[in-house]
Chains A and B, each alone.
Chain A
Amino acid sequence: MNALIEAQELSRWYGIVMGLNNVTFQIEPGLTGLVGPNGAGKSTLIQIITGQLKPSSGRLTVFGLEPWNNPALLRRIGYCPEGEAVPKELRPLEWLKGLGLLSGLRPDEVEGRAEAILDKVKLPREHWGKRLGQYSKGMKQRVKLGQGLLHEPELLVLDEPMNGLDPMGRQEMAHTLKELCAAGVSILISSHILAELEALCNNILVLNWGRILASGSQKEIRSDIKNWSEELEIECDAPEKLAQHLFAAGVLAGFDLSAEDGLLRIRVKDAAAFYERWTGLLLESGVLVHAIRSRSRSLQNIYDKVTT
């Protein structure tokens, strides 16, 4: 598969501060999450991808082209920045129409398209007459997403799009993004809310201190992490008995008991060997199991492992 975004020894510094430090990576088409703490270099990377910043050294291409000072490429990219970034004095349709024209859309189309986009991002029509300064944070977020989609880009770059959205809004946003992805739009999304990224993105890019710590699918990253131990939380009627049985079978690296809650948390030595024997071990133990949850497969866990 051709890489959507490709960086070769990319660096960007602000005076003596390194924003990105000699990073090389590829992002494939699809939905990709950008993860990292504050100051990791996420916004710098996004700004380079969207042509707002020029790399200090190295090269970054999107669709094989460099974004810096390249309006023809920017026409193919939609960008939804972090923060409010909307003019308070305008109404959403006025703003979107102006942005549509700025993107090169024809005047006779732009109004219908702006209306369709506001419907798509589920901004209630009764609020269309208000000025953007009167909008809640969540409504501004929807308008911002709308402006990113207005010119139907092939790549959508979203910087913390879930900020300010209520749970319902987040769910709707996730649904919209999945729908767009299914329609062939590639999406790069940066967020602090790892649980939501986990549900949305298969591929992730982990950044810290301006370096890429991991990139690829969650499965690939897990398999690359040394000393990765699988952690499971088992809800059963006899956690002590089950712990004894698994310990005797020699598959456990460690465990925690919470007998009053009926919970057993285990860490296994060899995940592949454990899952091969798991059903048999469970039957042999004679313990009634109510629920099993993986605690190590979360994106938070991957993030913790690669950043420590």
Chain B
Amino acid sequence: MPLHDAHYQHWDGLHTSIWGRRRVIAQNGISACLRAKLLRYVVLLSWAGGLVMAAFLFFLGQVLVPDSLLVRWVTQISPDMRVFVRMFTSWLVDHPEVSVGTTQNVLFYYYGVYSMPVCIVALGMALPALITRDLASNAIVIYSSKAVTRGDYLLGKFCTAFGVITLTWLGPVCGAWFIGNLLAPNWSFFWHSRIALLHLLMFGLGSAAVLSALALGVSAVSSREKSTPALWFIWWVLGFAIQPIAVHTLPWLRHVSFGYDLRQSALAVFHLGRELQTAEDSIPIFGQMLSHVSQQTRDALNHPTLGGSVLGLALMLLAAGLIIRKRVVPE
């Protein structure tokens, strides 16, 4: 080490690449976020949810195998049940694209959408560690005097937010798909659920990118550690609260909620209305089960307000970009 003694030498050794340095920003950011005990609990909770989903997929897989333990146990309950289960199983086996593909598509829509709040809460907790603290301490000046640009800094912080989302949402959801299908009776489950996975990735990655950028924007709004999470949660809850009011008064106001916009995007990506229709048409028992779904709900599932949602999200991203430009990017 040249600096152990009093002599000073200029460093002429190998340097890590720019991607290595960006990774350092992201890695240090995630470590800083995980220093909060509460966030670590949220991560555990998310993965526990993923395991529950995987277990559910395992049982679903068992239903599709006529001689599985589950089917055998159910058929022993009564002769009527045996007939029903045999019929149900044969329908499912005859339509694997529906019984595996559609079922997983619908399940992952609900799991993806309803587990997203956990990741929004986690992001709220992680906000101070994104940009807020660097603005508060002015350490951002030191970071940008190193061998990285502010663009690299922002990319690293974006990856930090993306990492938090991966730990609390994308990871458990994709993990559930993988483990659930790994435990399935045969490998064809991976193949039949490929479209569900594709939808899941399209929605998950897109939403994670949007949420990460929005979180960066909110994180840069203030240099007070309590203000930015408060603003994030107020925005989220307010957006959630105004939806039932706005639907009858000013429908466009619903797009102020990023949660609503992302749910609408999910409907469009997972083609939920079309998938349910396919299930109804292919397997009669599904048709009976879904017959009570109202026309209004079917319309909502078939015609998500994608245009308004995309516009709403684009405007939010623009606002986030302007805030970041004003507060973080040097002139």
Contact = CB atoms under 8 A, between A and B. Distances in A.
B152 interface: yes
B133 interface: yes
Contact of B133 (A52, A72, A89, A104): A89
Interface in A67-89: 69, 71-72, 74-75, 77-79, 81, 83-89
A107 B146 CA distance: 16
B144 A113 contact: no
Contacts of B15: 75, 103-106
Contact of A102 (B13, B14, B24, B138): B24
In this complex, the interface size class of chain B, counting residues with CB under 8 Å from chain A, is: 35 or more
Nearest to A101: B24
B137 A147 contact: no
B133 A103 contact: no
B145 A52 contact: yes
B247 interface: no
B18 interface: yes
A52 B141 contact: yes
Contacts of B331: 14, 53-54
A179 interface: yes
Contact of A184 (B10, B21, B25): B10
B330 A102 contact: no
B21 A102 contact: yes
Given A101-B16, A152-B3, A152-B9, A81 B148 contact: no
Contacts of B139: 85-87
A46 B301 CA distance: 58
In this complex, the interface size class of chain A, counting residues with CB under 8 Å from chain B, is: 35 or more
B4 interface: yes
A113 B146 contact: no
A14 B330 CA distance: 12
B3 A120 contact: yes
Contacts of B11: 105, 151-152
Closest 7 CB pairs of A and B: A104-B15, A183-B8, A79-B145, A75-B147, A101-B24, A116-B3, A152-B11
Interface of A: 14, 47, 50-54, 69, 71-72, 74-75, 77-79, 81, 83-89, 98-99, 101-107, 109, 112-113, 116-117, 120, 144, 147, 149, 151-154, 179-180, 183-185
18 contacts: A14-B331, A54-B330, A71-B18, A72-B147, A75-B146, A89-B133, A102-B25, A102-B148, A103-B15, A103-B21, A103-B147, A104-B15, A105-B11, A107-B16, A117-B3, A147-B142, A183-B7, A185-B8
